[in-house]
A and B are shown apart, each in its own frame.
Chain A
Amino acid sequence: MQFDHIDAAILNTYQKGLELTTRPFLKLSKELNITEELIIERIQGYKDSRVISRFGPMYDVVRSGGAFLLCAIEVPLERFEEVTQMLNDVPEVAHNYKREHRFNMWFVLAVEEKEQIDKACKDIEELTGLKVFGFDKEVEYLVNLFLPVEATDV
């Protein structure tokens, strides 16, 4: 996928965050000497073509008493699709990835109250008949996803 310098500026700036002001796109539009309309058109385009998966506040449930837990299951290959579907229907499953390993399904549980984590694990074990391995976080060294975009027109 090709991005011009406007795309690169929008994607790099707003990955880091939008200001909490009435017109959050004003500052960048002035810097780029373009209209705010053009910026939102581009962002809508990213949404439509799934260049971005979300636009909005990112919440950290841990700070409000919730919890996240990284979990893995060893899913027999012939049951992979079935188990994927089962987990898709579980609201506590926030992300789920297929990975090339004996533990081939890795997902993150997110709950509003940390006491609900154990139950969510047990429910998934009952639902799938497979053992859920939870990888409790003991120390957090870094959480900061930033994927730089380079312009191809400069």
Chain B
Amino acid sequence: MFEIDELDRKIIVATQGGIPISIEPYKDVAKELEITEELLLKRLEILKDEGVVRRVALVPNHYKLGYTFNGMTVWQVKDESCNKVGEAFAALPFVSHCYKRKKYPGLWDYNIFAMIHGKNERECDEYLLQMKEICKEDLIVMETLYSSQILKKTGLRIKDR
């Protein structure tokens, strides 16, 4: 774990909602924080090395890019096969997130979660076939939960202190 200090916190608070869309965006952020651009870039570099910053990037809206079928696929596979299946799913280009998660026996028996993204239902059906083929010997049952509406998407919000 990385202990963030006061300056890191200030940087996070100032940038978590986004940075200016300008030719020199880091300079603009540094100016707002009343620090040098050099210092800001150095801190961001450290936070990136520590994994606190995943990357500085554009976050696309799936739907606007044409990815209207975003499915959370959930799989009940034999417990001893979880890692094998999870790792195989993780290698597929259309899977963005893949985890083993807690079960609620009798109520929710799925242990593997994988998010898939496609431009139409046919594309997703094809993806599901590939995934079923991968885990056919280990699969008990699976289901796909498509998102029908984004209700909120703000990302993380760290409080200013």
- Which residues of A are interface residues toward B (Cβ below 8 A)? 1, 10-11, 14-18, 20-25, 36-37, 40, 43-44, 46-47, 49-61, 63-66, 70, 84, 87-88, 91, 93-101, 103, 105-107, 110, 112, 133-147, 149
A64 touches which of B52, B98, B145 (Cβ 8 Å): B52
CB-CB nearest 6 A-B residue pairs: A142-B90, A17-B55, A141-B86, A96-B151, A141-B90, A54-B59
- Is A58's CB under 8 angstroms from B52's CB? no
A sample of 21 inter-chain contacts (CB < 8 A) reads A11-B60, A11-B65, A15-B57, A16-B57, A40-B21, A49-B64, A50-B61, A51-B65, A54-B18, A55-B58, A59-B12, A59-B16, A59-B53, A60-B51, A63-B51, A99-B147, A107-B152, A136-B101, A137-B101, A139-B82, A140-B98
Contacts of A40 in B (CB 8 A): 21-23
Beyond A55-B19, A70-B101, A97-B149, 6 additional contacts (C-beta under 8 Å) are A20-B56, A55-B57, A57-B44, A60-B53, A65-B2, A95-B150
Known contacts A25-B23, A98-B148: does B51 contact A147 (CB below 8 Å)?
Answer: no
**Interface assignment of B37: CB less than 8 Å from any CB of chain A:** yes
- Is B60's CB under 8 angstroms from A100's CB? no
- Is A112's CB under 8 angstroms from B67's CB? no
Provide the bound-state CA to CA distance between A107 and B146, in Å.
14
A/B pair count, beta carbons within 8 Å: 238
Contacts of A25 in B (CB 8 A): 23
**Interface assignment of B126: CB less than 8 Å from any CB of chain A:** no
Tell me the residues in window 23-60 of chain B with beta carbons closer than 8 Å to chain A beta carbons.
23-27, 37, 41, 44-45, 47-48, 50-60
Known contacts A50-B64, A59-B156, A63-B2: does B145 contact A11 (CB below 8 Å)?
Answer: no
B73 to chain A, nearest CB (A): 12
B54 to chain A, nearest CB (A): 5
A128 to chain B, nearest CB (A): 13
B65 to chain A, nearest CB (A): 5
- Is A60's CB under 8 angstroms from B145's CB? no
Provide the bound-state CA to CA distance between A144 and B97, in Å.
6
Which chain B residue lies CB-closest to A138?
A: B100
**Interface assignment of B122: CB less than 8 Å from any CB of chain A:** no
Contacts of B82 in A (CB 8 A): 139
